[in-house]
Amino acid sequence: MSSPSPSPSPPVLALLNGPPGVGKSTLADALARRHPDLRALDVDVVKHDLDSWPSDPRGAGLRARELILDQARVELGAGRGVIIGQYLARPEFPAALAELAERESARFTHVLLELPVADLERRLRDRRRSPTRPEQATNDARVEPAQAEQLIASLEALTRAADHVLRIDASGDLASTLSRLERAVLAR
């Protein structure tokens, strides 16, 4: 008689939080490329595709988050994991993601990607000069490199109040940061 096969691990729903320029989208996309059962969903891409953008940035952002929640529900329901990169200094969307994960029997992981102020300033300057994605140019028009310290501080209240946030140093190269992220998000 054969032994029962282990039950499959639940899919993960991971939020990559951090200031603009920390590498959220780059890391989410890279992790999803490594793991075919993981989907990277990008709120900014969805937001910038909405007719209400940029005339109603708040409304477009809220609608994009609703659409991302719907898409994540579909992916989790199909047994696939989801990773979402988004700068969030308010608790509503992380709470909605945690609730979705619970409803879909998924593991929720909230990751805060961290950088020293000087590194973030440099990345924001570099990104303003040479955006790698179309939505960066629009988003970065609202963010100055001199705001790096303020952006980092804006995340502290949220992460202190959250039940569990994994902090990952994003100051290294892409490969080492991706390795740390992979261990944190996909640890079973």
**pLDDT, tens digit, 9 for 90 and up, residues 153-176:** 999 888 887 778 999 999 999 999
Token output for 62: 């809220």
**pLDDT tops 60 at residue 114:** yes
Q: Is 68 helix (H, G, I), strand (E, B) or coil?
A: helix
**pLDDT tops 50 at residue 77:** yes
Q: What CATH number should be reported for the domain whose range is 12-186? A: 3.40.50.300
